[in-house]
Structure 1
Amino acid sequence: MLSVILVPLYTDVLKSASFGDYAIIFTYFVIFNVILAYGMETAFFRFYNKETDKSKVTQTANWSIITTTFLFVILGFSFFDAVQSFTRIEPEILKLIIWILAFDALAIIPFAWLRANSKPLQFAVIKIINVGINLGLNVFLLIYLPKLAKHFPFFESIYFPEYEVHYIFWSNFIASGFTLLLLSGFFQKMKLSFNWQLWKAMMKYALPVLVAGVAFSINEVIDRLFLERLLPADIAKEQIGIYSACYKLGMFMTLFATAFRLGIEPFFFSHATSRNPKKAYALITKYFVIVGSAILLVVLVFIDPLKELFIRNESYWEAMKIVPIILLANLFLGIYHNLSVWYKITDKTRFGAYISSFGAVSTIVLNLWLIPIIGYVGSAAATLFAYSSMAILSYFIGKKHYAVPYAMSKIIAYLGVSILFSVLSFYVFRENYFIGIGFILAFVSLIYVFEKQELFALINKDKNEN
C-alpha cells in the first residue's frame, strides 16, 4: 500500500530520471529480500502446522534467519566496492540498503509467528506503524524540509539539494529499524535452541521456494534492469521512471492479491488435513477470480480519475497504455498463488521452482527480444505472458498431483467477460462513464445470477454455525 500512497509524492517531487534511479535500486531490493528469506517463511508455516513442538520450529527458523542475515551484512560490507561497481548504486544509498535488507529479514519469522498464531491486530498495528513512519518521513524530507531550510539554520544544515532519492531510503531505514524494535519482545523470548534435523527438513522444503521466489522477483522487477541496459543511455532512466510510475497503478490488483494471500496461506496449511479441503480451495479460488475480475474492470473504467489522483505529473502519463496489461498480469499472478496450494501442502515445492523458473526464463527472453522493438511495452507484455503461463501450468500439473475441483468453466467465463468489458472501457469507451458503469453493473448482475444460490447458502451456513 505504501508504494501506491507514495506515487503521487514521488512523481510530484522527482524528475522521471530520478524516479528511474529509485526504480532500479528497488529492483535489487526486491531480489535480495527474497534471497534473504530463502523460503523459510513458507517452511515455517508448513512445519508449524505439522510439528507438535511448535516452539522448536519457531526457534530453529528464527536462528537460521539470524545467522544468514549476520553473514549477509558481513559479506555485503566486505565486498562493498565490488557490489557497488556492479549495481552502480551510490555508496551511501547502498549502505542503507544493506541495513534495511537486514532489518527486514530479521522481522520475517516474528511476523510469520504472529500470522500463524492468529494475532492480526498486533501484526496490523506494527505494519501500520512502519507505514506511518515511512510515509511521514518521506513527506517531511521531500516536501517540508526544503521549505524549512530556507528559514531555519538547523534545517538548512540537514538539507541537501538533489538528495531526494537518498531521503527515500533514509525514511525506509528508520521505519525498518523501528519496526524491528517493536518486535524486540519476540527476540527476548528466544532460547539458544536449534534442531539440526528439523532445519535440514525445513531447508529441503524451503530451497525450491527460494528458487521460485527469485524467479518471481525476476518476473516482477528485472525488466527495469533490462530497460537500463538495452535502451539508449540518454533516455533509459527517464523511460524507466515513466514505466515504473504507471506500473504502480497495477498495484490495485497487487494490494488485493497480497492481502488475500497473507490471510489465506495459513488457512491452506491448517485445513490441509480437514475433511474436505479441496472443496474449500476450489471455492476460495473461484471467489478470488470473481473479486479480482471486478477490480480489473472497475479500475480500468475509472483509470483516468485514478491517474490524475496518483500521478499528477502529466509527463508520466505517456506509459498509461501498459496499465491494463499490468493489472491483468497481476490478476493472473494472484490466481497462480491460489492454484499453487497443491505443491505446498503435498511438500512438492520443487514444482513451484520449475513453474516459476519457466516464467523467469520467459521474462528474460521476451525482454531481450521485445525491448529493442517496442520498449517498455515489451516488458509489460513479458510480465503478462509469464504470469498467465505460470497459472496455466500450475493448474494442469496440479491436476495430476492434487486434483482440486475448480469451477473452471465459471472462472474462465468471469475472467473472459471482465477482460472484454475492460478492453472496451479502456480502448473504445475511455472516459465514457455511462457505458463504463453499465459494464460494471452488467458484470455484477452476471455474478449475482450464477452465484446467488451458493452465496445465500454460505451466508445461512455461517449464521447457523454462529
Structure 2
Amino acid sequence: MSALKKLAGETVIYGGSSIIGRFLNWWLVPFYTRMFLPEQYGIVSNVYAYVAFLLILLTYGMETSFFRFAGKSKKPDEVYSTTLISLLVTSISFVLAVFVFSGNIADWMEYPSHPEYIRWMGLTVALDAFTSIPFARLRLKSRPVRFAFVKLTGIFVNIGLNIFLIYYCPKIIDANPDSIFRYIYNPHIGIGYVFISNLVSSAVMLLLLFPDFIRKKMVFDKQLLLQMLRYGWPLLIVGLAGMANQNIEKILMPKLLPASVDGLKQLGIYAANFKLAVLMNLFIQAFRYSFEPFFFSHYKGEDSKMTYALVMKYFVIFGLIIFLGVMLYIGMAKYFIGSRYYEGLRIVPFILMGYFFQGIFYTLSLWYKLTDKTSYGAKLALLGAVITIGLNVLFIPVLGYMASALAFLVASVAMTVASYILGQKHFPVKYDLKRVALYFVVALVLYAVGVNINISNIVIHYALRTIVILIFLGFVVVKEKRELKRLFV
C-alpha cells in the first residue's frame, strides 16, 4: 500500500503537469477548429501524424533503455551522457538530411509549395527527441517540480504564439496596415504559424534544460550504447507500431478516400473529434509517466505482483469513470470544437474505448520489460499495427473515418488480450479479472442507460446523467471498501 501511495503521489505531480499541459494544448483544438476550415485543420493533423512517427524513430527506444540501465548501474551519469551523446548525433544528422531533401519530402507529402513546413517540423522533432533524455532523467531522479516547470513553460510559449500569430496579428494589421507587426506576420504563411509556434516552444525547453547538460561530464561508453540499443530496438518497433495504431489513419485517409471526397476535410473532422477523447488520453499519459519508473524500482519487492494487480484494477476503475463522464456529457463537450466538425461525434465512444484498452495494454506490458523480453512487445505492437493498417486500407474507401475509429478499438483490444495471455506464461500476475470484468459490464450497462436519458430540461437532463455516474462510483466504493480503507488509512 505504501508503494501504491507513492505511485499515486508521483502520478498526481507528473500527471498533474502532463494533464494541465495537454489540457492547455487541447484548448488549441477549439481555437483551430474555429480559425481553420476542416481541410486546413486536416493538413495540420496530417503533418503532425508524420511528426509522431519521426519522434519515435529519433528516440529509438532510448528513453526506456535509459530507465533500465541507469536504474541498475553504479554509474548512472555515464548512462545519461552516453545516451545524450547518441541522441545528439542522430538528431543533428536528421536535421541535415531534412534540410537537404525538404523539397523532395514536400513533394511526396503533397505539399510542394511548402517545403518550409518540412524544415520547421524537422527541427522541432530533433529538439524534442534530444530533450527526451533530460526529461527522463528528471523523472528518474524524482524531480517532478522542475519537470513540470519546463514542460509547462514550453506549452505556454506554444499556446501564446499560436494565439498571437494566428489571431491577433491579422487583426492588428487589418486595423493598422503600417503597424510594426507587418514585419512579423506574413498572411501567406497561414497554418504554418502552427508549426513555427511549436518550433519556438521546443527551443525554449531546450534552453531551460541546458544547465543539466553543462553540469555533467560527458562520457561516451560505446559498449554500453550497444547494450542499450540491443535492449531498446524492440521498443522502437513497439513505438512505431503503437503510433501506427493511433496515427496511421491520419496519413492514409487522404490517400484512400475516393477522389470525389475531400480527404483532408474528412481527416480534419476525424482529427477534431478524436481530440474529444483527450481526458482518457491524459489519464493514460499521466499514469505512464510514473508507472514505468515505479515498476522498475519495485519489481524485487515481496508483494510486487500483488501491487501490480491492484494497479491494474484501479486503472480500469478510473478509466471507466472517464469513459462514462465524457460520453454522458458529450452534449457539452462537443462545444469545444467548431460546429463544422459535429458530424464526426459518432467516433468518440470508439476512440475512448480504444484509448482505454491501450492503457490496459500498457499496464500489462511490465511483464516483457521486467523479463528483458522486449521482442514480445514488438510482436504485440506489430499485431496491432497489422490490424490497424489492414482495417483502414480495407474499409476507409467504404466507411470513411468511421473505419479508422473501429480499427483503433479492434487493434487495442486484440493487443491487450494477446499481451495478457503471453504475460501469464512468462511473468504470471494474479489480476482480479472477475472484478475487472464486473466493473466493465456495469459501466457499459450504465452507459446504455445514461445515453438514453434525453430530457428537454437541460438541468434535469444532466442531473440524471450525473446520477448514473454516481451509481457507478457508489458500486465501486461498496466493492472496494476494504482496500480503500487500507489505502487511505
Question: Contact (CA 8 Å) 1:355, 1:393: kept in 2 or not?
Answer: yes
Aligned partners of 1:423 and 1:146: how far apart in 2?
Answer: 47
The change in CA–CA distance for 1:63 and 1:427 in structure 2 (over 3 A counts) is: farther
Are residue 240 (structure 1) and residue 262 (structure 2) matched? no
1:21-420 map, 5 Å: 21-89=43-111, 90-152=114-176, 153=178, 154-161=180-187, 163-233=189-259, 234-308=261-335, 310-311=336-337, 313-420=338-445
Q: Tell me the CA shift for residue 424 of structure 1.
A: 3.9
How many Å separate the matches in 1 of 2:472 and 2:454?
16
SS at match of 1:208: helix
Counterpart of 1:455? 484
Superposed displacement of residue 406, structure 1: 0.8
Partner of 1:464: none
Q: Distance in 2 between matches of 1:157 and 1:82?
A: 29
Identity of aligned residues (%): 38
Report if aligned partners of 1:148, 1:156 keep a CA contact under 8 Å in 2.
Answer: no
Q: 2:471 aligns with which of 424, 428, 442?
A: 442
Query: Are residues 164 and 60 of structure 1, via their aligned partners in 2, closer, same or farther at CA, if it must alter by over 3 Å?
Result: same
C-alpha distance in structure 2 between counterparts of 1:424 and 1:157, whole Å: 57
Q: For each residue in 1:328-369, what CA deviation from the matched residue of structure 2 results, as whole angstroms up to 9, or x when unmatched? A: 110111111101011111111101000000000000100011
User: Residue 49 and residue 347 in structure 1: after superposition, are their counterparts in 2 closer, same or farther (change >3 A)?
Assistant: same
The separation in 2 between residues aligned to 1:3 and 1:316, in whole angstroms, is 19
Mean Cα deviation higher: 111-120 or 192-201: 192-201
| Structure 2 Cα separation of the partners of residues 395 and 4 of structure 1 | 32
Equivalents in 2 of 1:50, 1:426: separation in Å?
50
- Give the match's secondary structure for 1:183: helix
Normalising by structure 1, we get a TM-score of 0.95
Secondary structure at the aligned position of 1:82 is classed as helix
Distance in 1 (CA, whole Å) between partners of 2:420 and 2:454 is 34
- Cα separation, partners in 2 of 1:202 and 1:238, compared to 1, 3 Å: same
Structure 1 pair 315–61 and aligned structure 2 pair: CA distance change class (3 A)? same
Q: Could you report, residue by residue, the CA deviation over 1:58-92 in whole angstroms, capped at 9, with x for unpaired residues?
A: 11111111111111112222333332222224211
Comparing 105-114 with 56-65, greater Cα deviation is found at: 56-65
CA contact (8 A) 1:253 1:292 kept: yes
Alpha-carbon distance, 1:417 to partner? 1.8
Q: CA deviation at 1:426?
A: 3.5
CA contact (8 A) 2:82 2:218 kept: no
1:48 is displaced (CA, Å) by 1.2
Letter in 1 for 2:142: S
Q: Check conservation: 1:14, 1:164, Cα contact below 8 A.
A: no
Alpha-carbon distance between aligned partners in 1 of 2:367 and 2:330, rounded to the nearest angstrom: 35
| 2:138 counterpart SS class | helix
Is this contact kept in 1: 2:87–2:130, CA < 8 A? yes
Cα drift, residue 164 of structure 1: 3.0
Partner of 2:3: none
Give, in angstroms, the shift of residue 121 of structure 1: 0.1
Matched residue SS, 1:161: coil
Query: Structure 1 CA distance, aligned partners of 2:454 and 2:385?
Result: 35
Contact 2:277 2:326 in 1 (8 A): no
For the structure 1 residues 81 and 427, does the alpha-carbon distance in structure 2 shift closer, same or farther, using more than 3 Å as the test?
farther
User: In structure 1, what is the Cα distance between the partners aligned to 2:109 and 2:262?
Assistant: 19
CA-to-aligned-CA distance 1:192-237 (integer Å, 9 cap, x gap)? 4111221111111100000000001111111012211111345111
* Count of residues paired in the alignment: 458
Measure, in 2, the Cα distance between the counterparts of 1:419 and 1:62: 46
User: Aligned equivalents of 2:422 and 2:174: distance in 1?
Assistant: 63
Letter in 2 for 1:221: N
SS state of the match for residue 480, structure 2? helix
Unaligned runs of 5+ in 1: 461-466
Conserved in 1, the CA contact under 8 Å of 2:102 and 2:116? Answer: no
Say if 1:212 and 1:353, in contact at 8 Å, map to a contact too.
yes
